[in-house]
Amino acid sequence: MSRRKILTLICISLFIALSSILLRQLNFTSSPPSFSFQTKSKAKMSSEAKIAIIVGSGLAGLSAASTLVAKEIHVTLLERSPKPGGNSIKASSGINGAPTKFQPGPPFSDLFFYSDTITSSGVAFSSSSGEDRRREKLVGKLVNESSGCIDWLVKKGVDLRLVAQLGGHSFPRTHRGAGKTPPGFSIVSTLVKELKTSPLFTIQTGCVVTRILKEGGKVDRVEFVCEDGEKKELRGPVIVATGGFAGDANGLLATYRPDLAGYPSTNDARPGSQPLLTEIGAQLLDMAEVQVHPTAFVDPKDLLSPVKFLAAELLRGEGGLLLSDKGRRFVNEMQTRKVVTDAVTALPLGEETPKQWDVQLVLDEGVYKNASSHMDFYIFKGLMHKCALSELGEEALRTVKQYCLASAGEEEDKLGRTYFGHWELKPDEVSGGSVVYVGRVTPAVHFTMGGVVINEKSEVLDASGEKIEGVWAAGEVAGGVHGGNRLGGSSLLECYVFGRIAGSEVVRYLDL
Ligand SMILES: Cc1cc2nc3c(=O)[nH]c(=O)nc-3n(C[C@H](O)[C@H](O)[C@H](O)COP(=O)(O)OP(=O)(O)OC[C@H]3O[C@@H](n4cnc5c(N)ncnc54)[C@H](O)[C@@H]3O)c2cc1C
């Protein structure tokens, strides 16, 4: 990227961060402008017997439901699984927000979320094409609403006080709680619990939406099938929050990324639901942009499992390093997922099926202390173990010593790493007896950046760029926000931002 483009990105980042600060000063953030509506009484009066349909109970669907119920709209949420939460409930590193009171450093010192997002996406930055302009608006929304997102969740009782810096971020901004509950579970369970107290909210699990239907050019209902096998219809505007297709190995993934055949996945098997929307004319984009996460655990007790447990990105962010089977570092671990994955897959491939590489994730006591709730769980599951550094071999000992010199600021890191999280082992303390925590990791299919085209109002667009009336999409089912690479922590954020916007737009639609 040219210096001019980088300067432009930084200027836009500064502008977005400053507007966000201004909004906070004006006390707008807990109820951002795009989410504010008419008075409660009017919404109540005009919303009688009005029902909104949400498909999918991950964070995007729940955020939309919460927004609708707060405006006294009845919501029926249809979910194919027996339990709510989708992949959102599995999220383990956290959710991004900037600026927030939990971030380290002076207030409002993080001004680069927008430029980090655009830079990591790999999308050529140019306002000349309509397509780029639309992406920029989506990223603008994502970043602008991120501070309010953390406030909103914290007010609901979610603990998000710890902040880590993940790969591709130039500042710590991924929030999680201090206790043992992973962030995805805390967020989802808090929202579900709150929604279930509302008489306006109904959730039907074990029900698959099979078609979205239009009448007079407008979406006005869905067809769905529950466990009894009977086809039913439900009328109302529809918010589609059905998640991605990283678990659809033989369907959408095989169509758009046949080269990923044989890779393990961090996601359980589940068909992608984008076809529900393409059947009514929705446009798709970036479908080949699939994120392969560089670090999924290879479970020594179940070496060849095609579904892997994710080694949370925060382990690298908090200071963890990666070693090849030769005991060498081969990449700056703080690079984006794409760069780290490319570096791993350039190493020799093992002979096992699924395709997996032999890489060790190594942490010290400092990292352990700051990620102990995650680490204790991984150790309990047998995915990591505590050992003496000497067990990793002579070359690994030399590599760790070198890493300690860089983390202590005594030498520049040869791979360009400048942030070492809470790594605390000092160069003069490193010996074969030093305690480390180790687990084998390999790349796994994780997240799909592509999906249906939406605009900044979460409206679903057709092939000519026109909105399809009566339907909105939010979360991983939509494409375009992350381009070719999603930053860790930005998916949950995307669900909150575009789920809330979709909910707000449906309130507006029903009040017309
Ligand atoms: C292991 C793991 C760890 C992760 N960690 C993080 C993290 O730390 N931070 C972060 O930002 N992101 C993380 N992600 C990504 C993030 O969790 C998801 O991408 C995101 O939460 C997607 O949310 P969603 O609401 O769009 O979809 P989901 O949460 O996947 O929910 C979609 C729901 O829709 C349902 N559904 C689908 N089709 C239909 C249909 N036809 N009818 C009815 N129901 C349907 C599904 O069953 C599902 O419950 C992680 C992902 C995984 C797998």
Q: Which domains does the chain have, with CATH numbers?
A: 51-289+449-510 (3.50.50.60), 292-444 (3.90.700.10)
Residue whose CA is at the smallest distance from ligand 1 atom 16? 88
CB 92 less than 6 A from any atom of ligand 1? yes
Q: What is the pLDDT of residues 238-254, one digit of tens each?
A: 999 999 999 999 999 99
For residue 243, report the distance from its CA to the centre of ligand 1, in Å: 5
pTM score, whole prediction: 0.90
Per-residue CA distances from 258 to 121, 388, 486 (Å): 22, 41, 21
Q: Which two tokens stand for residue 504?
A: 């707000």
Centroid of ligand 1 to alpha carbon of 192 (angstroms): 15
- Given this model, what pLDDT does residue 39 score? 30
> Three-state SS for 436?
strand
Is any atom of ligand 1 closer than 6 Å to the C-beta of 495?
yes
Residue ID of nearest Cα to ligand 1 atom 9: 489
CB 318 within 8 A of CB 164: yes
The answer, yes or no, to whether any atom of ligand 1 lies below 6 A from the CB of 274, is: no
Name the DSSP letter for residue 4: H
Task: Answer whether 87 contacts ligand 1 (Cβ < 6 A).
Answer: yes
Spatial distance between the Cα atoms of 154 and 147, rounded to a whole number of angstroms? 11
pLDDT-flagged residues of the chain (< 50): 23-47
The residue written with tokens 């409002």 in the block is: 108
- Å from CA of 216 to ligand 1 middle: 32
Q: Do 338 and 468 touch, CB atoms closer than 8 A?
A: no
| pLDDT per position as a tens digit, 212-232 | 999 999 999 999 999 999 999
Tokens matching residue 188: 């989802």
Predicted confidence at residue 85, as pLDDT, reads 98
Q: Which residues are marked as active site?
A: 293, 316
Which residues are CB-contacts of 449 (< 8 A; sequence separation ≥ 6)?
286, 289, 290, 291, 479, 481, 482, 483, 484, 485, 486
